[in-house]
Amino acid sequence: MPLKGIITVDENLCKACELCVEACPQHVIALDMDIITPRGFHPAHLAEDGCTGCGICALVCPEAAITVYREKKTA
């Protein structure tokens, strides 16, 4: 069972390039069409359950806008 993860996306930095959307192996990232950032972008966000905290989204993000968290391993 993969560990669960969460990402937070800094809306001041995200430019909605969608590289994270494409790269996410779990396909759980999408642009949030309900929000427009002060810079005029729909920021990326975790749209569904299933994030494993793999960090691939942060790896491809040109803005270093993504912080990735993962459950601590127990035992």
Partner 1 sequence: MATLDIKDMEIVYQRPDSLIDINTHYCPGCTHGIAHRLVAEVLDEMNLSDKTIGVAPVGCSVFAYNYFNFDFVEASHGRAPAMATGIKRVRPDRVVFTYQGDGDMVSIGTGEIVAAAGRGENITVIFINNANFGMTGGQMAPTTLPGMKTSSSPNGRDVEQMGYPIRASELLASQDGASYIVRRSLHDPKNIRMAKKAIRLAFETQLRGLGFSMVELLSTCPTNWHLTPPKASKWLEEKMIPYYPLNDYKVHPSIIELKV
Residue 60 binds partner 1 (CB under 8 A)? yes
Residue 8 CB, nearest approach to partner 1 (Å): 7
DSSP state of 63: T
Q: Site map for partner 1, 18-57, x if CB under 8 A? A: xx-xxx---------------x-x-----------xxxx-
DSSP state of 4: P
| DSSP string of 22-42, one letter each residue | HH-TT--EEE-TT---TTS--
Q: Which residues contact 65 (CB under 8 A, 6 or more apart)?
A: 9, 10, 13, 14, 44
Residue 34 CB, nearest approach to partner 1 (Å): 19
Positions touching partner 1 (CB under 8 A) are 4-6, 8, 10, 12-13, 15-19, 21-23, 39, 41, 53-56, 58-72
